[in-house]
């Protein structure tokens, strides 16, 4: 230190006190602080303040929203359950109605079929009766003719144009028909 | 650093070499101007102090400018670190001492804390190794800025009479006591406050730096081919390393104290104490 002090003294510099406050250092210190303060206060810190406030709001709002959402979910669930119950009821009603419908349709179809079958049977019976009647009348006529031929041959005389013969034949046939219808 | 200055001025100065211990003194806080310029009649010296001062300014603006360039709601990387600093000032200092009403002083105190801290921190940065706040003019400047902030603020908020009345006549004291109390309050608040505010920071940094320099120089000085020399040198060196870590802590602490006091002063201006 002694050496240095003499060195400094030799250079002609009086060493200033450590408590000296030179004006230029004061001004430079002030400039340094104002630079930091000015820049941070004007450009840098407002941004982070906004972000932090936003985040705080978001968290607060988030909690609020979560509560609201929970309530909403509960009400939606209730409504849903109500709707589900309604739908079930409706479905069962529809099912019941459908079953009734089905029974009615089946009954109707059955009736229709029965009626159709009956009408077919009736028609067939009528046709059969008609054919039978036709057959009976044809057979009667043939039997008459056969009998006539046979009588002709037995008697040996032609009775064709005789009115009596004709009425006798008619009577015979009538008798025959009576027999046939018995 | 002093070590370099002294080592270069006396490279062969060791124990038993017929050379006294070159204890570092006030001269390690003197720096030659790298260049000078004159504005008006005032000449400005740009020295290591000035360089470190503006380097700190650039670092602080650069870091926070980068960290908060596009703040995200979900912070990542540098923004996390920056937010940590911001929330420390906001919740740890401003809201603790002033309350929520002090939020508009966050940038002011934020600037002080980080500027003072980085300026202190230069003291343990290899290559820089000078706490800029150990140059008395710097803490004085800062203390003056705080002083000319809180005094007018108090007058503005509480009225001229109210402000001085609140400080000089603290309520809840027997009237007779004012004879004693009023001059004390007046002196302590308006004269001693700014002085201690500056000196507390300056003296801590000054002493710390001197301590580091002394042990560093001692480690070099004691280094010689003798038992006492080697042991002494090793002890000094270990102590210098330990004290460097300790200084890093003190630097942060002093920056915090400086900022906290500034906040307390502003708080006392915003609403009357007591």
- Could you tell me if residue A174 is inside a domain? yes
Contact between A170 and A177 under an 8 Å Cβ cutoff? The reply is no
Domain that includes residue A36, residue range: 20-181
Percent with pLDDT over 90 in chain A? 54
Sign of the CA dihedral with B80 first, then B82, B88, and B91 last = negative
Percent with pLDDT over 90 in chain B? 67
- Could you tell me if residue A3 is inside a domain? no
Which residues, other chains included, contact B96 with Cβ-Cβ below 8 Å and sequence gap of 6+?
B263
Counting Cβ atoms within 10 Å, is residue B229 exposed (0-12), middle (13-18) or buried (19+)?
middle
- Per-residue model confidence as pLDDT tens digits over B212-230: 999 999 998 888 888 888 9
Which of B30, B35, B53 has its CA nearest to residue B45? B35
List CB contacts (< 8 A) between A36 and chain B.
57, 60-61, 111, 114-115
> Which sequence spans correspond to the domains of chain B?
2-270
pTM of the model: 0.71
Closest residue, chain B, to A37 (C-alpha): B111
What ipTM score was computed for the predicted complex, to two decimals?
0.90
Contact B106 A49 (CB under 8 A): yes
Closest residue, chain B, to A1 (C-alpha): B22
Contact B142 A37 (CB under 8 A): no
pLDDT at A160 over 80: no
List CB contacts (< 8 A) between A3 and chain B.
9-10, 22
When CB atoms are compared, the residue of A7, A20, A40 closest to B9 is A7
Token look-up 């009425």 returns: A167
The 3-class secondary structure across A56-78, one letter per residue, is HHHHHHHHHHHHHHHHHHHHHHH
Q: What is the pLDDT of residue A145?
A: 84
- Could you tell me if residue A12 is inside a domain? no
Q: Which residue in A2, A16, A36, A54 has the most chain B C-beta atoms within 10 A of its own C-beta, making it the best mutation to test that interface?
A: A36
When CB atoms are compared, the residue of A1, A21, A48 closest to B82 is A48
- Could you tell me if residue A31 is inside a domain? yes
Q: Which string of b and e fits B86-105 if b means at least 16 CB within 10 Å? A: beebbeebbbebbeeebeeb
Give the B window 116-175 contacts with A, CB below 8 Å. 135-138, 140-142, 144-145
Q: Looking at CA atoms only, how far is residue A22 from chain B in angstroms?
A: 7
Contact between B123 and B131 under an 8 Å Cβ cutoff? The reply is yes
How many other CB atoms are found less than 10 A from the CB of residue B262?
Answer: 26
Average pLDDT, chain B: 90
CB of A28 less than 8 A from some CB of B:
yes
CB of A10 less than 8 A from some CB of B:
no
The tokens of B159 are what? Answer: 């009225």
Please tell me the total count of domains within chain A: 1
Average pLDDT for B141-167 = 93
Average pLDDT, chain A: 85
Q: What is the pLDDT of residue A4?
A: 46
Counting Cβ atoms within 10 Å, is residue B146 exposed (0-12), middle (13-18) or buried (19+)?
buried
Which residues, other chains included, contact B144 with Cβ-Cβ below 8 Å and sequence gap of 6+?
A26, B194, B198
- Could you tell me if residue A4 is inside a domain? no
pLDDT at A33 over 50: yes
From residue B76, how far is each of A33, A51, A82, B67, B70 by CA, in Å?
A: 28, 13, 48, 9, 11
Rounded Cα distance between B242 and B137, Å, is 28
What is the band of B210 on the pLDDT scale with cuts at 50, 70, 90?
very high
């Amino acid at each position: 230190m002694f050496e240095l002090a003499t060195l400094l003294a030799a250079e002609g510099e009086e060493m200033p006190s450590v408590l000296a406050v030179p004006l230029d250092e004061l001004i430079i210190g002030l400039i340094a602080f104002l630079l930091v303060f000015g820049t941070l206060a004007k450009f840098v810190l407002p941004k982070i303040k906004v972000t932090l406030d936003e985040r705080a709001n978001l968290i607060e709002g988030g909690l609020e929203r979560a509560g609201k959402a929970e309530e909403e979910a509960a009400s939606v669930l209730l409504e849903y359950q109500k709707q589900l119950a309604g739908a079930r009821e409706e479905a069962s009603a529809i099912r019941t109605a459908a079953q009734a419908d089905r029974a009615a349709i089946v009954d109707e179809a059955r009736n229709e079929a029965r009626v159709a079958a009956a009408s077919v049977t009736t028609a067939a019976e009528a046709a059969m009766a008609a054919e039978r009647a036709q057959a009976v009348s044809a057979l009667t006529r043939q039997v008459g003719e056969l009998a006539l031929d046979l009588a002709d041959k037995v008697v040996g005389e032609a009775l064709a144009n005789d009115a009596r013969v004709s009425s006798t034949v008619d009577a015979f046939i009538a008798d025959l028909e009576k027999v046939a219808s018995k | 650093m002093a070590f370099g200055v002294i080592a270069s001025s006396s490279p062969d100065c060791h124990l038993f070499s017929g050379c006294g211990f070159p204890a570092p003194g006030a001269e390690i806080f003197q720096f030659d101007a790298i260049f000078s310029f004159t504005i008006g009649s005032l000449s400005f010296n740009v020295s290591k102090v000035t360089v470190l001062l503006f380097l700190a300014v650039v670092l602080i603006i650069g870091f926070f400018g980068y960290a908060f360039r596009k703040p995200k709601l979900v912070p990542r990387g540098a923004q996390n670190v920056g937010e940590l600093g911001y929330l420390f000032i906001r919740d740890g200092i401003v809201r603790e001492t002033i309350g929520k009403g002090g939020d508009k002083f966050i940038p002011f105190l934020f600037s002080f804390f980080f500027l003072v801290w980085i300026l202190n921190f230069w003291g343990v940065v290899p290559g820089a190794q000078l706490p800029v706040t150990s140059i008395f003019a710097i803490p004085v400047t800062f203390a003056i800025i705080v002083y000319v902030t809180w005094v007018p603020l108090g007058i503005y908020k509480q009225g001229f009479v109210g402000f001085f009345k609140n400080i000089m006549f603290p309520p809840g004291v027997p009237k007779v006591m004012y004879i004693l109390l009023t001059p004390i309050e007046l002196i302590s608040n308006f004269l001693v406050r700014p002085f201690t505010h500056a000196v507390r920071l300056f003296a801590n940094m000054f002493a710390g730096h001197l301590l580091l320099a002394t042990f560093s120089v001692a480690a070099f000085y004691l280094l010689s081919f003798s038992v006492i020399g080697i042991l002494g040198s090793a002890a000094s060196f270990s102590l210098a390393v330990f004290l460097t870590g300790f200084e890093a802590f003190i630097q942060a602490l002093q920056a915090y104290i400086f900022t906290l006091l500034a906040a307390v002063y502003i708080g006392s201006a915003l609403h009357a104490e007591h």
